[in-house]
Structure 1
Amino acid sequence: MPRLLFFLLILLTGGAAASGPVFDVHVHIRNGEASLRDYLADVESSGVELSGLGAMWFGGPHQARQGELDAIRTGNDSIIALAKAHPRVVPIATVHPYDEAAAITELERVAAAGVRVLKLHAHTQGFDVSDPRVETLVRRAGELDMVVLTDNANILPGDSEKLFNLVLRVPGTKFILAHIGGMNFRYWNIVALARTADGFAMDNLYFDISGPLLLVPGSPIEDEFVWTLRNVGIDHVLLGSDYPQMGLGAAVDALERLDLTGAEKEKIRRGNAARLFGL
């Protein structure tokens, strides 16, 4: 093969390595420095240029359950310490909404320590998104200039509908809905219609596309997925891996395969996260 043609093929098929810097908004760092080293090694082996990551301590076998105040505080402190030692790490803390005043106190404590993101997961933490205690918590998070990252994989009935209403009721808080509704991502096209009504800008709503992104390229639903991303607004779409369940390299490669413009992909890879988190 002629050398020029060889290098052209590399440029055209370079995948993750050729796509530019990436901010991974959804990373589970369950065992501190050891987990972070494993994650960074996985990213390096994929050829991704990592600009930063949003790291949380809970997920899978490590959960933040109601009443476990000391364990939640310890977990939050571990991720705060990790972020102080590693500038690329954006710390993500958690509380349980049903702990009420104690949850608010912990939220205020981590915010004072520099945490800008609160993670909630209704399914694994065992709470109802429509419970008034959830609204109280996320409203306070917005007052503290914190972004709320919450699961939206449609594991629970009414997941997307309840989150839609929560986002509307608390316009002062920015929300990132992880997994953009899972394989029910079509629901979120309603945002385009909602924004035609007075007072329904929903500028506080963002989506992390980890998970379903891996299934879409080359599938019968690829065009619908791209259509959905444009309907919710490319400026409101973020890239996440959900590591260690899924790797960042696979997510970046899947994004590169979608029929989006280069400018759109750059926003999703890093630009939107940089703007949202003030990086």
Structure 2
Amino acid sequence: MYRIIDVHTSFGKRVDNDPRFTAATLGMELDRHRIAAALTFSQQGIAYDPRAGNNETIALTSRDPRFVPLAVINLRDHPGWEQELNRTITAGIRGLRMCPGAHNYPLESATFQRLVALLGRIQIPLLISSLDCMTGWELPERAARLTADAGFPLILLDTYYGNMSEVMEVMRRYPHVYAETDGLATVDAVGIMAETVGADHLLYGSAAPIHPMQKSLNQVLETSLSDKQKAAILGGNAMRLFGIRESNLQGRPFLESLEPVHFNQPVIDVHSHLGYWHLPCRDEDYDPVPMLERMRRLGITHSMVSSYESMRYDIAAGNRKVMDAIHGHPELHGYVEIDPWHLDLSCAEMDRYYDRPNVAGCEMELTHIPCPTGSPQVRALMREVARRGKPILFMAASANDAAIERELALEHPNLSIIHAHGASPDWCRTVKDAPNLYVEYCYSRPSHHNLREAIDILGPARVVFGSDQTLLSPFGQVGLYRDAIQTDAEAVPILNGNARRIFGL
């Protein structure tokens, strides 16, 4: 029996009253994923009025014991912030959620130092997003240094692969610093952090209902950590830091198994990579064995694979290495990476490999190889891709290029184009009349709501599964799709049927 405490949830949505972001919806997500309790706060406290937002939080947690209250304080509200801190402490809040970037004040300020002194007497956790700064690297060390002698826990939210190295170094230097796991989306990132800073310094968080809860759960459950370590991350550490007793959780749901959740049918992954990542990842490079083992655990029967090296440095070398790596593994199918700035080379690469039975098609990634989506170079290369008759995995230069992607699809109606890394509902509406344009949703901080809307707008026949491994964890991406797909009738085409048709499997 494993109790889960989610330390990173909120409710409310700025401007509109979208029912997907209400406290009621958050409560349904807790029950759906068997979460025993959740730390939470009202988004109104960040976006508009901390006092009104805190009132909403206190009212919610008073009527629903599944929720544990966090207060939001804005230090620019003088002298109101100190009065609000005292008021919410009296009302029973268990932690403080601060937003120095969103509220536009520096941590080095005298006002923040006064807050730290007050929290030193109160001894409740302080939660700050590690990304509430320019790059994600500036805030963690500053916050840790400025709170080091105060005695209360500092919990860094939203750590991800871009600042994970810095957060781990900060945690090694400052033992009062903890990290929440929602953004740890790369392969075995939770395991890597646990090895580096200790499982006792990690706290499960989901950022629900904005982000998918099963994704963040699977990121913890995928690791090779012991059950004791997983249980500590999922709930034990939060119970210790926030003073939640086991008696408070009697009658609440719990997990019976610490195995990651997956689908009970085959999955085809249309988006994966081999190569070196300059990030805190396991160094798998072009070794396909770890990828194949993850595929086996998740029931992924086929993966379409390209080279990250080809996107970043050397197209021909990366294509050669990925084709060598997948040789002898019928579950793996190669993408030839192509570059619109090098038309002749791209055509030569396609012609070199397209007659091989395990080559699925090509990939054009215009964020790694910058080129405008509607440029003559892209249009010329797309004509060559269409002429050769194999599908393309395509990443536009901008999320606002839906109209251009629609044009490209309609110009080449016999070419299957898979849009990579998800899209907004507006994108889906724009391309709805281009039946050969598909979309997959792998992303480090994805929206299961956007994926759900894509299914509703385009239909399940236009959505496919992608993971982005070996960068992103396929366990997390399976969790994303689990939280968006509602029926088996949707699951079959999305998970395997569409890809079988597109790639002729």
Report the TM-score range of the alignment, normalised by the length of the smaller protein.
0.7 to 0.9
Q: Separation in 2 of the partners of 1:85 and 1:193?
A: 40
Q: Separation in 2 of the partners of 1:181 and 1:128?
A: 22
Larger Rg, first or second structure (1 or 2): 2
What residue is the counterpart of 2:178 in the other structure?
206
Q: How does 1:47-66 map to 2 (within 5 A)?
A: 48-58=33-43, 62=44, 64=46
For normalisation by structure 2, the TM-score amounts to: 0.44
Checking the alignment, whether the CA contact within 8 Å between 1:129 and 1:162 is kept in structure 2 is: yes
Residue type of the alignment partner of 1:108: N
Q: How does 1:188-267 map to 2 (within 5 A)?
A: 188-191=167-170, 194=173, 202-211=174-183, 213=184, 215-217=185-187, 222=188, 226-267=191-232
Q: How does 1:127-206 map to 2 (within 5 A)?
A: 127-153=105-131, 155-157=133-135, 158-168=138-148, 170-180=149-159, 183-191=162-170, 194=173, 202-206=174-178
- Three-state SS of the structure 2 residue aligned to 1:28 is coil
Q: Separation in 2 of the partners of 1:56 and 1:35?
A: 11
State the 4+ residue runs in structure 1 displaced beyond 4 angstroms.
Answer: 31-34
| 1:182–1:163 Cα change, 3 Å | farther
Residue 121 in 1 paired to residue 121 in 2? no
Checking the alignment, whether the CA contact within 8 Å between 2:157 and 2:180 is kept in structure 1 is: yes
**Structure 1 residue runs without a partner (length 5+):** 1-18, 195-201
Residue 277 in 1 paired to residue 242 in 2? yes
- Three-state SS of the structure 1 residue aligned to 2:150 is coil
Residue type of the alignment partner of 1:129: L
CA RMSD of aligned residues (A): 2.5
Match of 2:9 among 27, 34, 42: 27
Residue type of the alignment partner of 1:276: L
**Structure 2 residue runs without a partner (length 5+):** 245-505
- Three-state SS of the structure 1 residue aligned to 2:22 is helix
What is the count of residue pairs matched by the alignment? 237
Residue type of the alignment partner of 1:51: A
After superposition, the C-alpha distances for 1:152-207 in whole angstroms (9 at most, x for unaligned) are 12642412232232232x4322211112365211113324653xxxxxxx442221
Identity of aligned residues (%): 23
Higher helix share: 1
Checking the alignment, whether the CA contact within 8 Å between 1:72 and 1:94 is kept in structure 2 is: yes
For normalisation by structure 1, the TM-score amounts to: 0.76
Q: Offset at 1:57?
A: 0.3
Q: Separation in 1 of the partners of 2:161 and 2:130?
A: 7
Q: Separation in 2 of the partners of 1:117 and 1:192?
A: 20
174-183 vs 106-115, greater mean Cα deviation = 174-183
- Three-state SS of the structure 2 residue aligned to 1:112 is helix
Q: How does 1:88-127 map to 2 (within 5 A)?
A: 88-127=66-105
Checking the alignment, whether the CA contact within 8 Å between 2:74 and 2:99 is kept in structure 1 is: no
Checking the alignment, whether the CA contact within 8 Å between 1:26 and 1:242 is kept in structure 2 is: yes
| 1:154–1:78 Cα change, 3 Å | closer
